[in-house]
Amino acid sequence: MASKDVAALAALLADETRAAFCLALLDGRAWTAGELARHARVAPSTASGHLGKLVAGGLLAEERQGRHRYVRLAGESSAQLVEVLAAHAALSDEPPRTLRAASARSAMARGRTCYDHLAGRLGTAITEAMTSRGLLRQDTGFALTDAGLDWFRTVGITLPAGGRRPLVRACLDWTERRPHLAGLAGAELCRHALSAGWCARIGSERAVRVTPDGERALGDLLGIDAGILR
């Protein structure tokens, strides 16, 4: 890759509106151009121009259903790039201006989805509990142990075999500044946590809360203290 290609990719996220779009799309879902425009508080025409650049640059993928245009992150590599940049960006010391903004920031730090896996204090707590119990190794890069593979089967999570996506990988958490579990295993664990009712999404944001059932399950399965999940 030439230096001009790296510069062109960096330029895509050098605009605050485009960065806001990509951060919102870390929820792993497809959004309409209108939804993203309202989220970033820009005019629909402005949003359309920015989205065109992100799609052309390969960071976003476009889907059309009838008259509606949807966009999503192009894949896990795009999500990883956005999350890593967010982790390396300096966190603002400016306090939230409203109670709603303060609550949203707190909820995102407590637990959220990062594309298709769990992040925030919830994600790092699960990762550290799996490591301390010998289910996950971090000493030579992320890897599930035999006990870890058995743990997923015991929980009732089937891990897909093969494919180009890694089974596990580390993803640097931008609020905790520590790694959380990503890859196929992280995605399947997140999917199971939501479908089993361990976690529930909070409104339309990426934030998730751990339910009482989730607190019991994570306590029984990984020994996680419910207090750190609240």
Residue 70 CB neighbour total at 10 angstroms: 15
CA distances, 106 to each of 12, 154, 207 (Å): 28, 33, 9
- Whole-number Cα distances in Å, 22 to 90, 111, 198: 17, 19, 27
Which sign does the torsion angle of CA 113, 115, 120, 122 carry?
Answer: positive
Tens of pLDDT, residues 137-162: 999 889 999 999 999 999 999 998 77
- Please tell me which residue, 103 or 111, carries the higher pLDDT value: 111
Beta-strand ranges (E) seen in 68-134 are: 68-73, 112-114, 117-119
CA 35 and chain centroid, separation? 19
Residue with tokens 């151009």: 33
Residue pair 112/208 in contact by the 8 Å Cβ criterion: yes
Q: How confident is the model at residue 93 (pLDDT cuts 50, 70, 90)?
A: low
CA 12 – CA 53 distance, rounded (Å): 7
Q: Where are the domains of the chain?
A: 3-74, 99-229
> pLDDT per residue over 21-30, tens digit each?
999 898 888 9
Q: Output the pTM of the full model.
A: 0.81
Q: Residue 136 forms beta bridges with which residues?
A: 144
- CATH top-level class of 3-74: mainly alpha
pLDDT grade, residue 197 (50/70/90)? very high
- Whether 88 has a pLDDT exceeding 80, the answer reads no
User: In whole numbers, what is the pLDDT of the chain averaged over residues?
Assistant: 89
